[in-house]
Each structure stands twice: as C-alpha cells, then as structure tokens.
Amino acid sequence: MQVKNCAKSLGLMPSYRSHAHSGLFEITCQLEGSCTLTANGKNFAVKQGDVIILPPGILHSGDGGGGLFRDMYMQCSGGEFTDVHVVHDTDGAILSLMEMIYRVTTERGENYHAIADSLLEAICAYLTKYVSKKIRYEFVDRFRNLLYENLSNAEFDVTAEIEKSGYSKDHFRRCFKEETGATPSEYLTALRINRAKKLLSSTPRQSVELIAEGCGYSDSFYFSRVFKKSAGLSPTEYRKSKVLT
C-alpha cells in the first residue's frame, strides 16, 4: 500500500455529504465526538478513538446527530480489506502512526514517501489484528450500534439487553471491554456525556434539563453528578468555559 493523501478536518463539523473514493482506500481516525457512518446501506456508530476502514468505491456519509465531530483521514492505494469496518484503536497506536504520517507528508522531507509507506504497513498490521478480533465478536458491534441508537432513551436497560443476547453477562462484558476498552454501561455513559458536551457548547439557550433528557437522563440532578464526574465540571460550568474560550 502507498499513502496518497493524509489530512485533518479543519474544525468540528455536524456531518459530511455522501461520497465515494474511486480506486483509493480510506482510513479515518475519529479525533473528537461521535457520529453515525452510513456505508453500503448500513449504519455504524463511530466514537472518539474509533478507526473506519473504507474500501474503494464505497458510498458513505457521516452524521453527528446534532453534535459535532472531527477526524483525520488518509487515502492510500492497494489494500486487502474488502468490507467496511469500524474498530477501536485500543492503545492509540493507529492514531500515533497516522499523526506521524501526517507530519512527514506535510513537511515533505527527504524520503518522506518511503517513511509514510512504512508507517502505513504498521497501521495495516494493527487493523488486521482488530478486524480479526472484530469478526470473533460481531455481537459487540451490534450492541455498540444498539447503545448509540438508545442514547436518548432513559428507559434503556443495558443489563436486560445483554440478557437477550444469549451470552452470559460476564462473558459478554469481558468481550465488550476487550473490543472497546470499556464495559457496556461505561461505553453508553461516555457516548451520552460526549453528546451532552456538544449540546452544551452548541446550544447555549437550551436548558440543562432538556439536554439531560436528550442524552438519556430523566433526572437532571443525577445527570449533573455523572457529567461532573466525567468532565470535572458541572454542566453549567462546562458551558461557561466554552463560552469564555
């Protein structure tokens, strides 16, 4: 494989239009926020730390669902992946390697093409490992999408949904954490808090109570406690900090 282009989103965006890349693979790292990727007629939940693999010619689009997100993408020739995949960059290695590719292709120093292609080989090795693991735990991907679909559903019961899967709760949680780095409940909380951050920043006139409700919390006081534990600030303090910056 050879690197043809590597770039970062210029800023946070709410969505991107449907398009395809003729003859080029695209590997995308989600830097901030979460979105729904629509590709090949399927929806994929993408959150910060996820990596998207898109084979050539796949029509795809992204929608932040009212929030904002930012990514870094790389286009390259060659490649052995034939399907769309969303995997989690568990230790941040793929992002670090892509940042290095971005730097060397931007600076264009001596032998930068060879350096970038060598780094790409390492990225592909990580992706192959994650995709292989993903195939073992397809139920994890299905559950990730279910969690994303129920971000605003305060009645959603994680434990009850795990019981419907047919797997033991301990096995399910162990596989889910191995794949995503978090338990199902932790993963859902992170998605909800991330959406709340975006709404607090982008809708200054919307009340904290309404934002809590839109993020799956019927009790705004409980939402505030969870938010502060995650962000280190109360929702009101977080909103003020974003206004000041």
pLDDT value for 5: 87
Structure tokens at 20: 């395809």
pTM score, whole prediction: 0.58
pLDDT value for 135: 57
Structure tokens at 84: 């769309």
Same-domain status, 119 and 175: no
pLDDT value for 188: 93
Same-domain status, 18 and 93: yes
Domain that holds residue 121: 2-135
Q: What CATH number corresponds to the domain at position 154?
A: 1.10.10.60
Residue with tokens 């982008």: 202
Same-domain status, 38 and 127: yes
Same-domain status, 97 and 70: yes
Boundary-marking domain end, from 82, 115, 135: 135
* Total number of domains in the chain: 2
Q: What CATH number corresponds to the domain at position 31?
A: 2.60.120.280
Q: Which residues contact 147 (CB under 8 A, 6 or more apart)?
A: 45, 158, 184, 187, 188, 191
pLDDT value for 134: 58
pLDDT value for 178: 83
Same-domain status, 198 and 171: yes
Torsion, CA 152, CA 202, CA 208, CA 223, rounded to 10: 50
Same-domain status, 214 and 130: no
Same-domain status, 55 and 147: no
Same-domain status, 6 and 115: yes
pLDDT value for 92: 84
pLDDT value for 165: 87
For the chain, residues with pLDDT lower than 50 are: none
Boundary-marking domain end, from 135, 165, 200: 135
Boundary-marking domain end, from 82, 101, 135: 135
Same-domain status, 158 and 79: no
